[in-house]
Amino acid sequence: MPPRALLTSYRRLFAAPGAAAFTLAGLLGRLALSMNGVALVVLLSERRGSYGLAGAVSAAGLVAGAVGMPLIGRLVDRYGQARVTVPAALYNAVPLTGLLLCVRLGAPDWTLPLCAAACSAAPNLGGMARSRWAHLYRDDPAARHLANSFEQALDELCFMAGPVLAMLLCTTLAPEAGLITAGTLGTAGALLFAAQRRTEPPLPAAPAQGREAAGRRHGSPLRVPGLRVLVLTFLATGMVFGATEITTVAYADALGHKASAGLLLALVAAGSCVAGLLFGLLTPRRAPGARFLLGATAMAAVLLLPLAAGLGGAGLGLLGVTLFAAGTATAPTMVTGMTLVQELLPQRQFNEGMAMAVSGIVVGISAGAALAGTVAEQAAPGTGYALPAVAAGAALLIALAGRRHLTVREAPATDGAAGTAGTAVGETVDGGRGTALDCGLSGTADGGRSGAVDGGRGGAAENAEPIVSGTL
C-alpha cells in the first residue's frame, strides 16, 4: 500500500476532537519508558563500574513495576485517569531524583535497588490511551481495531527510538543525561495526558452499595479465565522479546560487530511496527479468539527463521532479514491480545486487566533475558535463538489449551447501568457485528448518555473515509 493511502486510512482516527492531543502526550511518556533500561545500565556501569549492579537494580525496577502497575490500574478504574495519573507522576519524580543523587554522591549500593523499585510503578499510559480510543469509537469496531493496531505501532516506534536516544544522551552529554531526560519526558507526558479531560472515559455508574464494596465483590480480573490465558501467553511472548535481544547482542559480538546489534534489534521492532500498521487496515472477520490463535501460530513459525540463521552461522545481513520477518508476527498477536483484554473484562476492570497483561510481558522479558544471558555464556553463538523459538511455541500451546476461554460472549448489563447502551460485557469484532457496546472499557459506561465525551460528536467516524484494504 502506498504511504499516502496508509496515512489517509489512519487519519480518520483523529477525527475525534482531542485525539491527537492525548496521543502525543502519551507518546512522550512511553518514549521515556523505553529509555529507562539503557539509561540506567549506562549510568551505573559508568559511575559504579559494575554491570552486575546495573542488572540487579534494573531487575528490582522490573519486579516492582510488574507488581505496582496493576495496583495503579485498579485505582484508575476506581477513581479515573486524571485523579490517579497526576499524583503518581509527581510521586515517581521523587525516588528517581533520589536514585540520581545516590549514584552521584556515592551512597551504598543497596540504596539503588530501593530507589529503582520505588519509582517503577508508573501509570500505564499505553493502556489508558487504548481505553480512550475504545470509548471514542465504542460504536465502530473497525475504528477500534485500527486504533489498537496504531497503538502497537507506536509502542514499537518508542522501543526503536528510546534506547538510541538514551545512549546518545549518555555518551555525548553525561551518564546521567539519559535518565534525567527520561524522567522529565515521563513526568511531562503523564501530566499532559491527564490534562486532556475531554477524551477521558467517564467512570462507570457506582452500584447502590458504593464503589468500595463493588471492588471487593468483583475481586481480581484474574478471576476471568480468558485473562489468565492471555497473561500467560503474554509472559511467554515477553520471553521471546527478552531472549531475542540478549541473543542478538551476543551473536553480533561473537562476529566482532557488537555495535551492529542495535540496528539488528531495530529491524525486529521495525517489522512489528510495519505489520501493526498494515494489520489495522484489514477488516476483522473472524472472532478475536481465532485471530489470536492465528497470530500465535504465525509467531511460532517465523521465529524458526532466526534459529536457522543463527545455527547456520549466517552473516549479519541474512540474520537481519530473518529478525525483520520475526517481528512481523508479533504485532498482530499483541494487537488481538489487547483487543481480547478489552472485550473479556467489564469496564470497571479494564485498566487493571490491561496492566496485568503488560506485567506479564515485563516478567517474561526479564526471564527471557536472564536465560539468554546464561546460554550465551555457555553455548555457541546463535544457540540462544532456540529460546525465543521455544517461548513462541509455549505461547501457542498456552493459547490452544485455553482457546475455549477466549470466546467472547454477550453478557447481561452490569455496573448499575442496566438497560443502557454501552454496558454489556463482551463484544465480538467479527465483521463488525457489534453485539455489545463499550465492552471492557475503563470507565466508559455513560450511565445512559447517548452522546460522546467530546460534546455531542455522535460518532467521530461517521463521515470518515473507508479504511480497510482486506479481510482477516
Q: How many residues does the chain have?
A: 472
The cell for 50 is 559494575
Report CA-CA distances (Å) from 433 to 10, 410, 428: 22, 12, 7
State the pLDDT confidence band at 460, using cuts at 50, 70 and 90: very low
> Taking a C-beta distance cutoff of 8 angstroms, is the pair 193, 26 a contact?
yes
| CA–CA dist 285, 139 (Å, integer) | 17
- Backbone torsions φ then ψ of 471, nearest 5 degrees: -130, 160
State the pLDDT confidence band at 418, using cuts at 50, 70 and 90: very low
How much of the chain, in percent, has pLDDT values that exceed 70?
A: 81
How much of the chain, in percent, has pLDDT values that exceed 90?
A: 17
CA-based nearest residue to 72, from 414, 353, 383: 353
183-238 pLDDT, tens per residue? 999 999 999 999 998 888 888 765 545 444 444 445 788 788 888 999 999 999 98
| CA–CA dist 246, 248 (Å, integer) | 5
CA-based nearest residue to 80, from 347, 296, 464: 347
| CA–CA dist 77, 49 (Å, integer) | 42
How many separate helices (H) and strands (E) can be counted in the chain?
16, 2
> Taking a C-beta distance cutoff of 8 angstroms, is the pair 199, 18 a contact?
yes
Phi-psi region of 79 (alpha: psi -120 to 50; beta: other; left: phi over 0): alpha
| CA–CA dist 174, 176 (Å, integer) | 5
| CA–CA dist 41, 175 (Å, integer) | 10
Residue the block writes with cell 517465523:
302
DSSP 290-348: HHHHHHHHHHHHHTHHHHHHHHTT--HHHHHHHHHHHHHHHHHHHHHHHHHHHHHS-GG
| CA–CA dist 273, 297 (Å, integer) | 19
349-369 pLDDT, tens per residue? 878 888 888 888 888 888 888
Indicate whether 430 pLDDT > 60: no
| CA–CA dist 446, 423 (Å, integer) | 8
The cell for 456 is 455531542
Read off the DSSP letter of residue 181. H
Question: Is residue 283 classed as helix, strand or coil in its secondary structure?
Answer: strand
The cell for 241 is 522479546
Question: Is residue 230 classed as helix, strand or coil in its secondary structure?
Answer: helix
Question: Is residue 282 classed as helix, strand or coil in its secondary structure?
Answer: strand
Average pLDDT over the chain reads 78
CA-based nearest residue to 124, from 176, 69, 161: 69
112-138 pLDDT, tens per residue? 989 988 887 778 888 888 888 888 888
HSE-up of residue 182 (Cα within 13 Å, Cβ side): 35
Go through the domains of the chain in sequence order and give each one's CATH number.
Answer: 19-139+163-201 (no CATH), 221-441 (1.20.1250.20)
| CA–CA dist 127, 354 (Å, integer) | 6
Q: For position 201, what pLDDT does the model report?
A: 87
Alpha-helix residue ranges (DSSP H) falling in 345-411:
350-378, 386-401
Residue the block writes with cell 505461547:
395
State the pLDDT confidence band at 321, using cuts at 50, 70 and 90: very high
237-257 pLDDT, tens per residue? 989 988 888 888 888 888 888
Residues contacting residue 219 through CB under 8 Å, at least 6 positions apart: none
Question: Is residue 470 classed as helix, strand or coil in its secondary structure?
Answer: strand
Strand 470-471 relative to strand 282-283: parallel, antiparallel, unpaired? parallel
CA dihedral 205, 208, 213, 214 (to 10 degrees): -40
17-29 pLDDT, tens per residue? 888 899 999 898 8
| CA–CA dist 218, 342 (Å, integer) | 17
pTM tops 0.75, yes or no: no
User: What single-letter amino acid sits at 319?
Assistant: L
Read off the DSSP letter of residue 424. -
Residues contacting residue 295 through CB under 8 Å, at least 6 positions apart: 329, 332, 333, 335, 336, 337
Q: For position 337, what pLDDT does the model report?
A: 87
